[in-house]
Each structure stands twice: as C-alpha cells, then as structure tokens.
C-alpha cells in the first residue's frame, strides 16, 4: 500500500482519519488535531497491533526537537479524549508499561482493505518514512504566484520583493511559532502601545490557524528587549519558528516589517515589509498571517481563511482608542490599581462612540468591567459594573459571533445564571474557534475541575501550559487538590519570571495561609497590596501581624475590604467569606456567601460560587447545613 492511501484517509474503528486535514470524524462530528498529535496517530497506525516504543515515537514525530515524555503522554491523552477511550480499559490505544503504546483498534485504509501487519509496508529506510510522515500535515499549498496575486487584489503594497532566504525544505518542519514583541521604530516612545497592539493582533490572527501551534502573547512578551539568542528563546518556548520585526508609524501610514527564523538552525527563511494606511492595518495583520502560513506550507481551513480576510477597515481614531484601552487594561495589577481599568473603559467607550459597529471595543469594555474569568483581576467590580459588562458582551455577540473572546464572555454570563451546561458549551466553542488561545483552555480546565471533573480539566490546563509556557497554569490545580507545597513551588517559579504579577502574589498568599506559613503569607499579601495600588495599607497590616499575630491581621484586612466595598470601590464577597472562614467566623462567612448568591457572583479572583465545592477555604463550613443548602440552590452537580 502506498503513502497516498494514508494521505487520503483511513479508518480507526468507526472513526475516519484524514491526516492531510488533521481531522478525525464520526457520525457527522469532526475534531481537529494538532499536526504533531496526528503524526503520533499515523505512526501508531502504520504499525497497528504492534507495540511502538516511546523512543521511536519521539524520534519520528519530533526528529529535530528535544521534548520530554510528558509531551508524548499529552498527545496520547488527547487522542484518547477524542476517541472517548479509557486508558484503564482501552479500545483504541493501549499503554505498554515502561515501553510505549499499541493501537489495538481495527485499522482500514481508505478503500476499505484491512491493514494487516500495519497500515503501510515499510520498504523504505527509516529516514524516508519520517520524511513521508512530515509531508502529511502540509495540506493545501498556495504557490508564490498566487500569493503575489492575492496581495495585489487586497491592495497590499509590498516594499521590495518576496524574499526566500533559505531552502524551502526547511520550511515544512515549522509547525509551531512564537511572535516576539514588534519593535517600535517611531520617533515617539509613546507609540509603544501601538507596537504592542500590532503584536497582539498578529498573534491573534495566527492563533486562528488550527494546524499551527502559536505561543500566547503573555509568554512572548517576556522577551521584550531581550538579548537572548533566538535559538535559546525557541527552545524555552518549544517552537520551531520565531517571528520578529518592527512597526513604524508616521502620520496615518504604518510600515510593518517581519521576518521568519527557522530556530533549530537560526536561519532567516523569509522577510517582508508592508506599508498601509492606518485604517487598513487590522486587515494587514490577517494578510501577514496568511503570508506566513503560505511560506511554511501550513494548511489554513476555509473557515479560518475567511475569518483572516474578513477584518474591515477602522478609523484611525477608533483604532487608537481601542489600542490605548488594551494597553491600560494589561497594566492592572502590575504596579497599578483600578485607575487603569477606569482609563481602559474610557478609551473603549470613545472607540464605541466613534464606531458603534466595532466589536473588539465592546469586548474590551466588558473586560474593563470585570466580565472575564480568563484574565482575572483581584478587584472585582460592583453589580452595576457587571450590568455594563453584560450589555457590552451582548452587543459584541451580535457584531462578531465568531470571536472566541465573545464566547468566553457568554460563558461568564451563563455562570452568573448558574447555567453550567451552557457555560461549558460556550467555552468549548471558544476553543474550536481559536485552539491556540491559552486563556480559553485555562478557563475550561478550571471550570471542569470546579464541576468535579479534574481528569478532563487538567488536560486543558496542560494544553494551556504548552501554549503559554512562561505563565503557570497548574499551581491553582494543586492548590484546589490540597497539594500546597507543589502549588507553592510552581507559583514561586512563575513569580521569578514575572515579579510584578499582583494576581500571582495573591494566589501565593492564599496557599501560604492554608499551609500555615503565616509569615510568608503576610509578605505575599503586602506585595499584592502594593501592586494593586494600596501601598498605604501595608504598614498597618504589617504592624498588626507583628504585634498581635496572623488572625488579628486577617481581621484587619477583612475590615479594610468591607470598608472599600461600602465605598463602591470593589465587590469581593467571596474573598470576604474566605477570610472570615479562615479566622473561624462562620456566621460572617455565610453572610458574605449569601450576599454573593443574591448578586449572582459566580466568578472572581476567589473563584466565586462556582468553587463552592472545591475551594479549600470553605472546608470549615461544609459540615454546616447552610452550606449544603447553598450548593443545592446554586445547582452545582453532585
């Protein structure tokens, strides 16, 4: 049987596998696999019924990259999830202890013939077989002539010619990419917000290509002004390709220069400059993403192609206000307080006033008013803020129903109404629209854990960690499991990379407090207050702790939070319930939990009522009949 058979497709049990499309389907339902995971499946199918060692799988699927066994384990776990297989009683992929894996399901090639002794006859040397498998994920290619024609149709003005700087043989191995922060070459340093926004837009557009792994903005931005060798950065992020470049804005014109580096050999394989009017700059990012996908021969599905080409023109004023809003939104909790979210909200409102049909500004406005579990903030908004966020989210849904961020917001709204099943559907929809969005995987992971499905949840968290390796996504998992020392270890490592992350310091405070390490807990709480702009509260809290101990300090902190809540500056009933539970005041803790119930407070930095059953702070309350009654009313599954 020829290699063509496997490209055309084959059956694994009742599932149709199409390697060229990176899809598996059954009864009208289709799942998209990452290219590397598809290659693992193909490798197992080629030797169906036979044990394939871990070493062989790693050598075949990741020939030029060092990866640990964890990556292979995650790939097999993802295949089992798609095939609805149970590792303990496998019908598809069987684990051979200390050796590898075996595909035990029946395998047939596309024409229905049984694949005896493996799907393909292995008559070529191993190197040839590996090369054949690499070719499976290339999909539909766009020729250089067609690409130039496309650019002409779109009105793109290339500065110079299309450069191919290395043999295209290297290109096919690029299946994962990181976009480093684009440098601001404008004379005005105040334009940094614009360069940051262009970086984020390019990452967002590339992330929509399901056949390509794209590292999140939060992990890439760590390398702002970094002098590390590109090969080292690629190794730290576990990617094949690096995109770096610059943005230069002059009046209402913008020039973006980008180059693609094949990281294992540190070779430039493509470089190009584009110039456009500012009102077309968002469309330019989609065109740039298309050009990169074409150069590395990665398949772009028709729906993805349509979305990349759908970005409409936007006025210069609207774009500036929107990007300024994002800039301030990202500064919250990193040495700046809620004044940043207020400024962000104001900029988003200006963008909406200028262009009422610009959906991203409504998404930003919802974020600025606290309606986003995927980018949590310690300071929760008031119920009035929630109403503003809900209205903005509903409008964004009308304007752009294909946005993954919109579906995350709709999931938050479903949680506020205790609609847990609907919320899960929305989160999964967000992932289907952008499988590279780490925030969506993180949100779904913790949502599943809160509902009592930790095995499924941790798989999503591991995927988020892979896409966002410079930010920890597993410390809270260990926290909710009661494994405090593991959680502390991961949190400390995360804060070494990002010491200005106020939300991270607050999470470490919570873990230290439950672990009984009170001195360290106070240090983290004080650092949190500084990073959220409450420096004046640090000294009184520290003095109370030194003179009267941890319990007294927590009572003072609870009193401070209650006062801020009365002033309308925050709304944090879950956090207040946690603190009262910690100091043994059950009645006051239930007062705040009931207040959270009245205001439909399902999310938040403390997890809200979604985490009633999983939050270890509530352990002292669980024997109280009031707790069981509250769980019943919230509708959390048994």
| Neighbouring-strand partners of residue 15 | 12
Residue 569 burial (C-beta neighbours within 10 Å; 0-12, 13-18, 19+)? middle
Q: How confident is the model at residue 119 (pLDDT cuts 50, 70, 90)?
A: very low
Provide the b/e sequence for 46-80 (b: ≥16 CB within 10 Å): bbbeeebebeebbebbbeebeeeeebbebbbbbbb
Comparison of pLDDT for 260 and 32, the residue scoring more: 260
Q: How confident is the model at residue 288 (pLDDT cuts 50, 70, 90)?
A: confident
Distance CA 282, CA 319 (A): 9
Q: How confident is the model at residue 463 (pLDDT cuts 50, 70, 90)?
A: very high
Q: How confident is the model at residue 453 (pLDDT cuts 50, 70, 90)?
A: very high
Between 115-124, 194-203, 377-386, the lowest mean confidence (pLDDT) is in: 115-124
Highest-pLDDT range among 213-217, 261-265, 606-610: 213-217
Q: Which pair of tokens denotes residue 607?
A: 């997890």
Q: What is the DSSP string of 601-627?
A: ---STT-GGGGTTT-GGGGGGTTSHHH
CA distances in angstroms from 6 to 1, 41, 43, 82, 115, listed in the order given: 9, 11, 11, 19, 11
User: What is the pLDDT at residue 123?
Assistant: 28
User: What is the pLDDT at residue 117?
Assistant: 41
Residue 84 burial (C-beta neighbours within 10 Å; 0-12, 13-18, 19+)? exposed
pTM of the model: 0.69
If you search the block for the tokens 């002409």, which residue do you land on? Answer: 152
Query: How large is the average pLDDT for residues 437-454?
Result: 93
Assess contact for 321 and 350: CB atoms under 8 A: yes
Distance CA 131, CA 137 (A): 11
pLDDT at 125 over 50: no
Other beta carbons within 10 angstroms of residue 225's beta carbon come to: 6
Assess contact for 569 and 338: CB atoms under 8 A: yes
DSSP character at residue 137: G
Q: Which pair of tokens denotes residue 167?
A: 């043999």
Q: How confident is the model at residue 274 (pLDDT cuts 50, 70, 90)?
A: confident
Query: How large is the average pLDDT for residues 333-341?
Result: 69
User: What is the pLDDT at residue 154?
Assistant: 33
Distance CA 411, CA 419 (A): 9
Which CATH class, in words, describes the domain spanning 144-313? alpha beta
Distance CA 555, CA 541 (A): 10
Query: How large is the average pLDDT for residues 74-93?
Result: 81
Q: Report pLDDT digits (tens) over 561-583.
A: 898 888 877 788 889 999 999 99
Question: What is the SS3 assignment for 393?
Answer: helix
If you search the block for the tokens 């999964």, which residue do you land on? Answer: 428
Q: How confident is the model at residue 348 (pLDDT cuts 50, 70, 90)?
A: very high
Q: Which pair of tokens denotes residue 438?
A: 């780490």
Q: How confident is the model at residue 220 (pLDDT cuts 50, 70, 90)?
A: very high
Query: How large is the average pLDDT for residues 279-286?
Result: 79
Residue 81 burial (C-beta neighbours within 10 Å; 0-12, 13-18, 19+)? middle
CA distances in angstroms from 452 to 230, 388, 627, 633, listed in the order given: 42, 31, 17, 17
Comparison of pLDDT for 335 and 193, the residue scoring more: 193
Query: How large is the average pLDDT for residues 144-160?
Result: 34
Query: How large is the average pLDDT for residues 220-236?
Result: 88
Distance CA 529, CA 541 (A): 10
For the domain spanning 3-138, the CATH number is: 1.10.10.10
Domain boundaries of the chain, sorted by first residue: 3-138, 144-313
Distance CA 566, CA 285 (A): 45
| Neighbouring-strand partners of residue 306 | none
């Amino acid at each position: 049987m020829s290699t063509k058979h496997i490209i055309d497709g084959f059956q694994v049990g009742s599932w149709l596998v199409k390697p060229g499309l990176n899809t598996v389907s059954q009864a009208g339902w289709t799942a998209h696999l990452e290219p590397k995971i598809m290659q693992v499946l193909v490798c197992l199918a080629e030797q169906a019924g036979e044990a394939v060692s871990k070493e062989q799988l790693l050598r075949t699927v990741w020939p030029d990259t060092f990866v640990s066994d964890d990556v292979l384990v995650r790939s097999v776990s993802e295949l089992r999830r798609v095939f609805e297989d149970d590792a303990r009683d496998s019908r598809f992929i069987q684990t051979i202890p200390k050796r590898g894996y075996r595909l035990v399901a029946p395998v047939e090639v596309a024409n229905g013939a049984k694949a005896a002794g493996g799907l393909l006859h292995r008559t070529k040397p191993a190197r040839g077989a590996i090369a054949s498998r690499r070719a499976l994920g290339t999909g539909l290619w766009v020729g250089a002539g067609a690409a130039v024609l496309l650019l002409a149709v779109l009105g793109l003005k290339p500065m110079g010619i299309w450069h191919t700087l290395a043999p295209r043989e290297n290109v096919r191995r690029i299946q994962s990419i990181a976009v480093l922060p684009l440098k601001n070459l404008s004379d005005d340093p105040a334009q940094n917000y614009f360069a940051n926004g262009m970086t984020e837009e390019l990452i967002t557009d590339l992330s929509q290509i399901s056949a390509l792994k794209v590292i999140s903005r939060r992990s890439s931005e760590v390398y702002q002004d970094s002098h590390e060798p590109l090969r080292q950065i690629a190794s730290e992020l576990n990617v094949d390709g690096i995109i770096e470049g610059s943005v230069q804005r002059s009046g209402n014109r913008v020039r973006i220069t980008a180059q693609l580096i094949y990281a294992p050999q540190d070779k430039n394989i493509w470089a190009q400059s584009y110039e456009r009017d500012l009102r077309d700059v968002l469309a330019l990012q989609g065109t740039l993403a298309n050009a990169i996908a074409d150069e590395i021969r990665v398949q772009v599905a028709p729906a993805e192609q349509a979305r990349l080409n759908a970005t409409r023109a936007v006025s210069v004023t609207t774009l500036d206000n929107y990007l300024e809003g994002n800039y301030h939104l990202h500064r919250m909790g990193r040495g700046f307080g809620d004044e940043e979210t207020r400024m962000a909200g104001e900029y988003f409102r200006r963008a909406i006033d200028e262009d009422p049909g610009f959906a991203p500004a409504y998404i930003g406005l919802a974020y600025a008013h606290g309606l986003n579990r995927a980018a949590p903030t310690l300071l929760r908004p008031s119920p009035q803020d929630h109403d503003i966020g809900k209205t903005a989210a509903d409008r964004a849904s009308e304007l752009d129903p294909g946005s993954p961020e919109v579906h995350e917001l709709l999931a938050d709204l479903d949680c506020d109404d205790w609609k847990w099943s609907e919320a899960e559907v929305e989160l999964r929809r967000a992932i289907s629209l952008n499988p590279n969005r780490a925030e969506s995987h993180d949100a779904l992971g913790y949502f599943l854990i809160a509902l009592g499905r930790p095995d499924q949840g941790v798989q999503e968290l591991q995927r988020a960690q892979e896409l966002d390796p410079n930010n920890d996504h597993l410390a809270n998992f260990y926290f909710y499991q009661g494994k405090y020392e593991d959680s502390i270890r991961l949190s400390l490592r995360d804060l070494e990379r990002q010491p200005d992350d106020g939300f991270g310091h607050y999470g470490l405070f919570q873990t230290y407090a439950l672990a009984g390490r009170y001195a360290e807990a106070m240090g983290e709480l004080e650092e949190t207050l500084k990073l959220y702009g409450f420096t004046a509260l640090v000294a009184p809290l520290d003095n109370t702790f030194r003179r009267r101990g941890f319990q007294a300090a927590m009572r003072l902190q609870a009193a401070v939070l209650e006062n801020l809540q009365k002033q309308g500056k925050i709304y944090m009933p879950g956090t207040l319930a946690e603190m009262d539970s910690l100091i043994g005041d059950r009645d006051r803790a239930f007062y705040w939990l009931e207040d959270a119930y009245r205001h439909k407070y399902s999310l938040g930095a403390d997890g809200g009522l979604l985490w009633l059953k999983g939050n270890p702070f509530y352990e002292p309350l669980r024997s109280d009949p009031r707790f069981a009654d509250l769980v019943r009313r919230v509708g959390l599954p048994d």
